[in-house]
Amino acid sequence: MEGGGGLVRASVVYSSLLNKPIRLHSVRANRPRTQGLQPGHATAVGAMAKLTGASVQGNEARSRDLEFTPHEGVRGNAGTPETPNQPRSLASLDITVEGSASILLVAILPYLLFSRLAASTCNFTPLLDSDTEFQLTIRAGMLVLNAPSICAIRQIFLPTLNTIGIPPEHVRLSPDYEQG
């Protein structure tokens, strides 16, 4: 059943890390009843837009077309002036999403971990301040069908990150969560 949400989330995070605009069309077009972006997909795209100061068109439920231009108007982006209302840096993000917290976390974590490194080679200035801790709060389901549970995140995903050189102090999960 893949061919939709996962590809949308991956495309947006890679677009953000590489500072390349993308245009997606026919999103989830082969789904009989649920074509286009679902609310959870739109929330993930919206979160990445906030993290990157992106310009986005088509980010609403049931939209089959999406345009995402990361770092639009952020100081340091090649030839683009800073947008007056755009914050210079982000210290936190609070997201509420229909669906799985773990899928949203896995979708945006690559940008949170690697944006400073990517910025130096892909000509953008991230909104994430490298000198301060970033706090992400996700309000969503913890036991969602076809999504990793909080136990899988704690027992498999985080140890895997540690194995590849991202130690526990770089990604900490709060012990405060409600089951369900």
For the entire predicted model, the pTM comes to: 0.83
- pLDDT at position 12, please? 95
Residues of the chain with pLDDT under 70: 1-3, 73-88, 130, 178-180
CB 70 within 8 A of CB 21: yes
- pLDDT at position 54, please? 93
**CATH class (in words) of the domain with range 5-170:** alpha beta
What is the Cα–Cα distance from 38 to 55, expressed in whole angstroms?
19
